[in-house]
Structure 1
């Protein structure tokens, strides 16, 4: 069973050790970099939501969500909407359906509107990341035609 759990003193090291395969590193920042970004976001009034993705009691991935504008340069859809900024499943746990199950839990969480109401959830992704695009489309995300920082923007109406 997939669950999203807050980062704690007990699980932080195992989360930092989760990695994607070598050929996927160009698609996602390291978990350490993502957690550092969370600190920057909070320090500048942002609303990040980092979680360790668990399969039963085993950490298998990481997700970083954000609400509204983050202080970074952003696409027009960002204001008052949720973003799945980072999503990764460790290379040892890929191709087991964990990414799909994690997306279900992520969208359930977003639909609780933890930081405020929103009409959309958006995800930036590199166009050459075909596996990610297929996953997002299977949940109803559609590209809005915007390319921002060389990443396509895909959007889901909540």
Structure 2
């Protein structure tokens, strides 16, 4: 089991409507410790504001870490909807790629 990776179910009332995961890698450089490697909202729940609320909750939870300067994630370049969503939340594109995916980050402190 990967102790750096923590999965979460995203609920609306009593229904699971999505999944998310956060990853904390303490040995990484300060700008590269906190990741959201998974974030998915079920198709029938998309466009209703649930994703935005869930992402804001994740950011708030991760931001409580004293060593959190930024939160990073990666996205497939062709997934324009996900890119637009992450930009709406406050993530911005970096010049990095990981395994063919674009890296985006949310700055808390620099």
Pick the TM interval, shorter chain. 0.7 to 0.9
Q: Please state if 1:88 is matched with 2:45.
A: no
Q: 1:154 & 1:54 partners in 2: Cα distance?
A: 25
Residue aligning to 1:58: 15
Larger Rg: 1
Give TM-score scaled by structure 1 length: 0.61
Q: Deviations over 1:88-107 (max 9, x none)?
A: 11122222221111111111
RMSD: 2.1
Runs ≥4 in structure 1, deviation > 2 angstroms? none
Q: How many residue pairs get matched?
A: 107
User: Closer, same or farther in 2 for the Cα pair 1:129/1:69, shift >3 Å?
Assistant: farther
Q: Match for 2:76 among 121, 126, 131?
A: 126
- Secondary structure of the equivalent of 2:39? strand
* Unaligned stretches of 5+ residues in structure 1: 1-38
Shift of 1:69: 6.3
Residue aligning to 2:53: 101
